[in-house]
Amino acid sequence: MKRNSLTAFVSACSLLCCSAAIAQSGGSMTLTLDTRKTYQTIENFSASDAWAGQFVGQWPDAKRNAIADWLFSMDTLANGQPKGIGLSMWRFNLGGGSTQQGAASGIRDEWRRAESFLEENGQYNFGRQAGQQWFLQAAKARGVKDYLAFYNSPPVQYTRNGKAFTALKGVTNIDSQHYEKFVLYTVEALKGLQQQTGVHFNYISPVNEPQWDWSDGGQEGCPYTNEQISGLTKALAMQLKSAKLSTEVLIAEAGHLKYLLKDDDRPGRGNQVEAFFQVTKPATYVGNIPQVAKVLAGHSYFSTSPYAAGVALRQQLAAKVGEVKGLRFWQSEYCILGDNDGEINGNKKDTGIRAALYVARTIHTDLAVANATAWQWWLAISAYDYKDGLVYVDRNKTDGNYSDSKMMWALGNYSRFVRPGMQRIEATLAGAPEQCYVSAYRDSKSGHLVAVVVNGSKEAKQLSLQTAGSRSKAIQQITTYTTSAEQHLAKQQATGVVTIQPESIMTIVVGSK
Residue 370 Cα distances to 184, 320, 507, angstroms: 35, 10, 21
> What pLDDT, on a 0 to 100 scale, did the predictor assign at position 37?
97
The number of CA neighbours under 13 Å toward the Cβ of 195 is 9
Distance CA 331, CA 323 (A): 18
Domain membership of residue 345 (yes or no) is yes
Domain membership of residue 145 (yes or no) is yes
> What pLDDT, on a 0 to 100 scale, did the predictor assign at position 193?
98
Domain membership of residue 478 (yes or no) is no
Domain membership of residue 499 (yes or no) is no
> At 415, phi and psi to the nearest 5?
-65, -35
Report the sign of the C-alpha dihedral through residues 151, 226, 46, 212, in that order. positive
**433, 23 Cβ separation under 8 angstroms:** yes
Domain membership of residue 191 (yes or no) is yes
Domain membership of residue 447 (yes or no) is no
> What pLDDT, on a 0 to 100 scale, did the predictor assign at position 513?
55
pLDDT tens sequence for the chain (513 residues): 333 443 443 344 344 434 433 333 457 999 999 999 999 999 999 999 999 999 999 999 999 999 999 999 999 999 999 999 999 999 999 999 999 999 999 999 999 999 999 999 999 999 999 999 999 999 999 999 999 999 999 999 999 999 999 999 999 999 999 999 999 999 999 999 999 999 999 999 999 999 999 999 999 999 999 999 999 999 999 999 999 999 999 999 999 999 999 998 999 999 999 999 999 999 999 999 999 999 999 999 999 999 999 999 999 999 999 999 999 999 999 999 999 999 999 999 999 999 999 999 999 999 999 999 999 999 999 999 999 999 999 999 999 999 999 999 999 999 999 999 999 999 999 999 889 999 999 999 999 999 999 999 999 999 999 999 867 788 999 999 999 999 999 999 999 899 999 999 999 999 875
| Nearest CA among 372, 457, 463 for reference residue 414 | 372
Distance CA 6, CA 9 (A): 5
Per the structure, the count of domains in the chain is: 1
> What pLDDT, on a 0 to 100 scale, did the predictor assign at position 357?
98
Determine the structural domain holding residue 315 and report its residue range: 44-388
Distance CA 82, CA 78 (A): 9
Burial class of residue 280, CB neighbours in 10 A (0-12, 13-18, 19+): exposed
**62, 144 Cβ separation under 8 angstroms:** no
Domain membership of residue 484 (yes or no) is no
**459, 502 Cβ separation under 8 angstroms:** yes
**164, 220 Cβ separation under 8 angstroms:** yes
3-state SS assignment for residue 21: coil
> What pLDDT, on a 0 to 100 scale, did the predictor assign at position 23?
35
Question: Which residues on adjacent β-strands are paired with residue 498?
Answer: 463
Q: How far is CA 228 from the centre of its chain?
A: 25
> What pLDDT, on a 0 to 100 scale, did the predictor assign at position 115?
98
| Cβ neighbours of 210 (radius 10 Å) | 26
Question: Which residues on adjacent β-strands are paired with residue 467?
Answer: 33
Largest distance between two CA atoms of the chain: 71
pTM equals: 0.94
Query: Omega before 378 cis (within 30°)?
Result: no
Domain membership of residue 7 (yes or no) is no
Q: What is the DSSP letter of 282?
A: T
**88, 417 Cβ separation under 8 angstroms:** no
Distance CA 273, CA 259 (A): 9
| CATH assignment of the domain containing 334 | 3.20.20.80
Dihedral angle over CA of 338, 206, 108, 345, nearest 10 = 10
